[in-house]
């Protein structure tokens, strides 16, 4: 079975602080995808990034960066110089690769509050 | 391109009543998903369609929930009769097909059962 754990329920920071959201996953499969989604108050899930299991190269995109470590089954997400607009719930998700079943398994989410 | 459309945006019903949600996926997307998101939890897959056929409905409470995707385009999710624990946001998503990893989610329908 697959499982995603986001231990941080809520994080509060002041604007311009850096913040890291943790994600730990469990799967017996060797090939899989990992995702981060953002859910603003409007409710829709906004795709941020996808990583596959054989690509551990970390990535930076603007103020966002991701740290994928297969050895510790972690896929952490960092926002540099946070802004009020970053306030949202962030979900980490897992999907198996070699299957026609494309179910996303989500963590419970981390609510990020960025105050001015 | 237009996104995934869902309606209604909000719905309040009494327990034991029935309710239906509608989803219009992105044009050309063969795969459609319904997820249930209970407050404070991550979304959980209820059912996945490939065109108009069901691929995975293992977590759909079939005694009260039903879904269909006639003609492989729009989809309807129904709950009859509703229970208090069905209060949640129901999210619809679509993707191009089996080999595609990119989902697009709709804004969801927030259901409150009183």
Nearest CA to CA, how far is B98 from chain A (Å)?
Answer: 6
Q: CA-to-CA distance for B91 and A8, rounded, in angstroms?
A: 24
Shortest distance between the Cα of A2 and any Cα of chain B, in A, equals 13
Residue A74 CB burial class (10 angstroms; 0-12, 13-18, ≥19): middle
Closest CA of chain A from B91, distance in Å: 8
How confident is the model over B2-41, as pLDDT tens digits?
A: 799 999 999 999 999 999 999 999 998 989 999 999 998 9
Residue A115: predicted pLDDT = 97
The pLDDT tens digits for A72-81 are 999 999 999 9
Opening angle at CA A108, ends B54 and B86, nearest 5: 55
Token pair 């596959």: residue:
A52
Residue of A nearest to B98 (CA): A100
Closest residue in A to B6 (Cα) is: A44
Q: Give mean pLDDT, residues B69-93.
A: 95
CB-CB: which of B3, B42, B93 is closest to A107?
B42
At A17, list the tokens.
């602080």
What does chain B look like in DSSP terms, one character per residue?
A: ----EEE-SEEEE-TT--EEEEEE--TT--EEEEEEE-TTS--EEEEEEETTEEEE-TTS-TTTEEEE-GGGS-EEEEESS--GGG-EEEEEEEES-TT----EE---EEEEE-
Residue A69, pLDDT above cutoff 60: yes
How far apart CA B77 and CA A64 sit, in angstroms, is 36
Q: Which two tokens stand for residue B104?
A: 């697009």
CB contacts, 8 Å: A37 with chain B: 105
Identify the CA nearest to A102 among candidates A35, A55, A44. Answer: A35
């Amino acid at each position: 079975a697959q499982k995603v754990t986001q231990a941080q329920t809520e994080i509060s920071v002041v604007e311009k602080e850096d913040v890291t959201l943790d994600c730990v996953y469990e799967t017996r499969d060797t090939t899989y995808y990992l995702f981060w989604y953002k859910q603003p108050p409007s409710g829709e899930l906004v795709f941020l990034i996808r990583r596959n299991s054989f690509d551990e190269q970390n990535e930076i995109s603007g103020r966002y960066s991701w740290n994928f470590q297969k050895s510790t089954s972690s896929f952490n997400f960092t926002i540099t110089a946070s802004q009020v607009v970053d306030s949202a719930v962030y979900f980490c998700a897992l999907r198996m690769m070699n299957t026609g079943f494309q179910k996303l398994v989500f963590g419970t989410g981390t609510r990020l509050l960025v105050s001015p | 391109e237009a996104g995934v459309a869902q309606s209604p945006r909000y719905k309040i019903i009494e327990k034991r009543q029935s309710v239906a949600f509608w989803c219009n996926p992105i044009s050309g997307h063969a795969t459609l998903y319904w997820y249930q998101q209970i407050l404070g939890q991550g979304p959980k897959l209820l059912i996945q369609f490939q065109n108009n056929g069901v691929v995975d409905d293992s977590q759909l409470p079939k005694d009260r929930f039903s879904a269909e995707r006639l003609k492989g385009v729009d989809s309807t999710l129904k709950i009859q009769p509703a229970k208090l624990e069905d209060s949640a946001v129901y999210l619809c998503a679509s993707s191009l097909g089996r080999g595609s990893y990119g989902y697009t989610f709709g804004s969801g329908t927030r259901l409150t059962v009183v």
